[in-house]
Chains A and B, each alone.
Chain A
Amino acid sequence: MTAKLPVKHLTLLALPLAAASLATLAQAQDWTPTRSIEFIAPANPGGGWDTLVRTTSRVIQEEGLADQNFAAINVPGGGGAVAWAQIARDSGNPHKLFATSPPIILVPLAGTSRHDHTAFTPIARLITDYSIVLVRDDSPYSDLNELFAAMQENPNLSVGGGSAPGSMDHISIAGLASAAGLNAAEVNYVPFSGGGEAMTSLMGGHVEAVITGAGEASGQLGEGSDIRALGVSAPERMGGALADVPTYQEQDIDYTFDIWRGVMGAPDMSAEAVAYYEDLFAQMLETDGWEQAREQLGWIDAYQNSEEFGDFLDAQKAQFSEVLSDLGLLGQ
């Protein structure tokens, strides 16, 4: 047994190494993966992280962008905290990536994860979605300012969202309210377990407004629909079914909110490995397969390389901390 093992290792290593040396000649890369890449979705199958992991793995595979396999792995628990704790132990491993989005900042700020974004290596930001504020079609409010004026008068006016207080939907509406001149804590935010549940509550007239993802809502809007949109958190008008929805800024509220998604790696990944993945994902965004998948899922390209993404995450943390402390939800 012991005699055989090194031999096995050698053969296992030899093939990818041969491939790697070819790749080095062709693309002048200093590092390429030597085995399968574990691509972790820190949640159950079916959610946003999982969709990102499976879609990117599939496109990379189909377009033949990488010599090595991308293996999608689900590690659910603690809103991501279980997976993060696991990955944080794997310092320097260049074959471990995970999908990420604002919870990597919000969950640690709420005090339920010991590891925040600074513990990991930023690889690239890939896509973004935006928040959208919805009301029923027969609602008396025709724009955001009317809604906020009513909220100021009646502090009970309820705004539903699909996630817990202090998480994405809440931060999005609270930040918007404070940009519109209200106190962030004045928003009577009613958390539902999922955007779908919040939406049915809006349709049934149980809450006055709902904040949710624009991509998720676009199928609900349009002719014959019971709901309409008051505003979207994008910096400029969006396309498709959302072309008629004014941005916050058009309504004189200086506020935007990104529901971004990207990829991070294990702590202290080498600069060469980071460069390889940066390049890989940048290439992937250019493929037809990606364009098709992205359009069907309602995603908007928002690429940032490792360095830009790292700075962006720091800025997001500062912005979120401010809103959370206004709300009194900052953990220890």
Chain B
Amino acid sequence: MESLNNLMYGFGIALEPMNIAYVFFGVFAGTIIGMLPGLGPISALALMIPITFAMEPSSGLILMAGVYYGAIFGGSTSSILLNAPGVAGTVATSFDGYPMAKQGMAGKALAIAAYASFIGGTVSIVFLMLVAPLLGKVAVSFGPAEYFSLMVLGLTAVVSLSDKSLVKGLIAAVLGVMISIMGIDLQTGTERYTFGSAHLLDGIDFLVVALGIFALAEVFYILLRGGGGKEAPRNAIGSLKLSRSEVSQIAPPIARSSVLGFFTGVLPGAGATIGSFLGYSMEKRLAKDGHTFGKGNIKGVAAPEAANNAACTGSFVPLLTLGVPGSGTTAVLLGALLIMGVSPGPMMLENRPDVFWGVIASMYIGNIFLLVLNLPLIPLIAKILDMPKPMLLSLILIFCMVGVYGMSFSIFDLLLLLGFGLLGLGMRLFGFPTAPLILGLILGAIMEESMRRALQISGGDWSTFIDKPISMWLLIIAALSLLLPLAKRGLTKMRSPAAS
């Protein structure tokens, strides 16, 4: 009951006319920012700090939070339509979203993404409201050893993400891990794979790789197949409506991924990208039709979209209850709050309840705005696909290049983009799956850093990974998820001769 009263109090703040305007402006700007690669939520929020400087802290945070979850909401659009993720958190959405668009179901994919985002976002706001103060403790219970084990569990998804050849999937994953550790090693200060270039000292931005391997490689592939020619425009949008059976198909994945995504978001350092991958690979394993994932399965769109929006809201837990940022984006939000004279932390609930509850209430409103704003726009945005192929391909090219250049203003990064485009093309031609590479890229660096950190703390004692209960259970689940499919396959092999 108490949280209900608090929420009413929060709505009192969020429903002030100016604050409604801020929510609307925030989610609208966020949607646009999310669709365009390059200008991610981090830079957008940093650029907004001067605007929010003179605002009431609650209004400022309402506005900036809106931009953040709006961007994650909108990021799926370019993933689905162009295979070019607008923000890192929506890469997994393109695995099934883009194949759906190619099959003339772009409208449906976008609609599913919007519904799943809305539900993921809303479910996690309920969690945020009810259990945020308790969850602070959960967030800090994850130390280096626990993170290592979580990343190991995440990496076991390579098995399910590499369809035909496990060996090729593993090669791709290792390549991804190698790319992830490029730059100055945090533990020793040693340069790794930098080839003496100052441009590589900070490593390679995730979006450069993702845009190259997915979007640019797709352009190259179509050109290579001669598809750039005079192919007639196709009516590619399709219906937005979901049938009853489709709704019942995607409901359980959305529910599971919302919860999973929220808890991933709560952990500092994990966030929307990892959340969406975990959601995707969990559903792929649970689904009976798991082999159709990656070929346009609606569950493959619903799961990562619910998870990344839930994770985005979850990442507010460490920020608001502990005053520590769990991600780059929440670090900028923390900076903005400090400038506005609010220090988030354990005392925030008592000192600034207006900020805490005002933002939570505004998120409910913002998510409704996003749904209402996005659904009618889908047919308009999806018209992009009606363009003649040559124009569409040029558009994707421009999109990738502007996106990458806009992030760093570096010609070097454009060359990297080209390189990854060629790598992606090569992988595709020789039957290497690209998803494991992206997974290795996301998880590799955190896994390695956490492992060495844990060993440094334990004085080189490897048993630290089993001594900590959370870490031990994560490792056990990882081992089971590797062994169970093998055992299952063994069983079916034993049975099938008998059956036939």
Contacts and interface: CB of A to CB of B under 8 A. Distances in A.
B409 A78 contact: no
A214 to B, nearest CB: 13
Interface size class for chain A? 35 or more
B202 interface: yes
B344 interface: yes
B326 A196 contact: yes
B455 to A, nearest CB: 10
Interface string B330-346: 01101100111101111
A218 B343 contact: yes
Contact of B50 (A58, A75, A192, A200): A58
A201 B144 contact: yes
Interface string B314-357: 00001000111110100110110011110111110000000000
B322 A203 contact: yes
A284 interface: no
Contacts of A75: 409
B338 A112 contact: no
A207 interface: yes
Contact of B199 (A82, A194, A201, A218): A82
B324 A200 contact: yes
B198 A224 contact: no
A50 interface: yes
A164 B186 contact: yes
A45 B46 contact: yes
Contact of A76 (B145, B185, B202, B339): B202
B346 A225 contact: yes
A196 B42 contact: no
Interface in A268-311: 293, 296-298
Contacts of B42: 44-46
Interface string B187-201: 111010000001101
B182 interface: no
Interface size class for chain B? 35 or more
Interface stretch (B121-129, B134-142, B226-234, B303-311): B134-142
A152 interface: no
A244 to B, nearest CB: 16
A246 interface: no
A206 B343 contact: no
A6 to B, nearest CB: 30
Nearest to A331: B189
Interface of B: 42-43, 45-47, 49-50, 53, 139-145, 184-189, 191, 198-199, 201-202, 268-269, 318, 322-326, 328, 331-332, 334-335, 338-341, 343-347, 408-410, 449, 453, 456-459
26 contacts: A45-B46, A46-B328, A46-B331, A50-B46, A79-B202, A112-B198, A158-B456, A164-B185, A164-B186, A190-B453, A191-B187, A193-B269, A193-B449, A196-B268, A199-B324, A200-B139, A200-B318, A201-B144, A204-B143, A206-B144, A207-B457, A218-B343, A219-B323, A219-B338, A223-B347, A225-B346
Interface of A: 44-46, 50-51, 54, 58, 75-79, 81-82, 85, 110, 112-113, 156, 158, 164-167, 188, 190-194, 196-197, 199-201, 203-207, 218-220, 222-226, 293, 296-298, 329
Given A79-B184, A196-B325, 20 more contacts: A44-B42, A46-B42, A77-B201, A79-B202, A82-B410, A85-B198, A190-B457, A192-B453, A193-B269, A196-B334, A197-B268, A200-B322, A201-B144, A204-B140, A205-B143, A219-B323, A219-B338, A225-B346, A296-B340, A296-B341
